[in-house]
């Protein structure tokens, strides 16, 4: 199925599940589900629109996947609002267990801001 929505968080001053600055953005799947987040042509993608955040802010996303029952960092990337594309493209993973995506901003003006997202998720 296709999912869309928005997440609101303290992107600069919050603390994500990992203990790092930022907030949990999305958690996909369950501990016992085999899933595949699907994008164009079957490429696994989650899209997030950051164009409404503070111009010049560096937005970092971190993707964690479940490996042998433990959440581990799989991807970490930065976007600069107004310099890089306004749509962050986060590649998800095929696996068993959850995917967690955390987002952090380096600008306090982004606290409380909404970040829209969309993705498709197929479970097996």
pLDDT in tens, the chain (124 residues): 678 999 999 999 999 999 999 999 998 877 776 665 555 555 557 899 999 999 999 999 999 888 888 889 988 999 999 999 999 887 655 667 788 899 999 999 999 999 999 987 766 5
Render the burial of 9-40: b for 16+ CB within 10 Å, e for the rest: bbbbebebeeeebbbbbbebbeeeeebbbbbe
Q: Where are the domains of the chain?
A: 2-123
| Global pTM value | 0.87
Three-state SS string over 24-93 comes to EEEEECCCCCEEEEECHHHCCEEEEECCCCCCCCEEEEEEEEEECCEEEEEEEEEEECCCCCCEEEEECC
Q: What is the pLDDT of residue 122?
A: 66
* Sequence-separated (6 or more) residues with CB below 8 Å from residue 68: none
Topology classification of domain 2-123: Jelly Rolls (2.60.120)
């Amino acid at each position: 199925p296709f999912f869309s929505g928005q997440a609101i968080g303290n992107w600069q001053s919050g603390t994500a599940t990992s203990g790092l600055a930022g907030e949990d953005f999305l958690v996909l799947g369950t501990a016992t589900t085999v899933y595949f987040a699907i994008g164009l042509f079957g490429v696994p993608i989650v899209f997030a629109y950051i164009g409404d955040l503070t111009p010049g802010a560096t937005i970092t996303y971190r993707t964690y996947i479940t490996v042998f029952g433990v959440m581990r960092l799989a991807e970490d990337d930065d976007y600069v609002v107004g310099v890089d594309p306004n749509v962050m493209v986060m590649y998800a993973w095929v696996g068993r267990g959850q995917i967690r995506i955390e987002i952090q901003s380096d600008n306090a003006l982004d606290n409380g801001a909404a970040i829209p997202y969309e993705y498709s998720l197929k479970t097996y």
